[in-house]
Structure 1
């Protein structure tokens, strides 16, 4: 791989490289996090437990049912409480209807 001479790059070029690297870093972190969560879940289920049994349930009360889901990324959901998530706001601004994302 050829060496990159950062000293001769413009501010814009350097900013673009940093932005792309940060995006790649965030994606790698999320990928690793997802893989670890899956390994823990599989290990717990193999032993006959749920993750909730081993580590306790998250939250303070009863869980809230998901009402809306991003069709492009099914991991992104919204219960209808609090602020609308960015993915939903973006799709609504493009003319979609909230009912399009109902579960």
Structure 2
């Protein structure tokens, strides 16, 4: 019965053999692909978009120039298409510093708390 160490050595040896075969065949495969691209006059758009149609969120190469009026896009959605509610301000001091209560306490609030103030002194009323 083989030990775990022996099996791991065999796995490592087989992985090295597989990598060597892959590297040997890689040049040949790349040459075949390049020849097919040249023979069929393929573009990156043809290769990397499903059924030869433009990928979502990307403009076709021909349309990429001259369409300045189009909205900028990120990840296939127009910028600003996701509307989020603004987070209400929950804490404010007399100098205009604010905090929504999310994330780390800001330095201005921490300084007040360390000076002995209560966080409730800075709480903003819910209605206004």
Superposition TM-score tier, normalisation by shorter sequence: 0.3 to 0.5
**Relative to total residues, which structure has the larger helix share, 1 or 2?**
1
Relative CO higher for 1 or 2, CA cutoff 8 Å, sep ≥ 6? 1
Q: Normalized against structure 2, the TM-score is what?
A: 0.32
Q: Normalized against structure 1, the TM-score is what?
A: 0.39
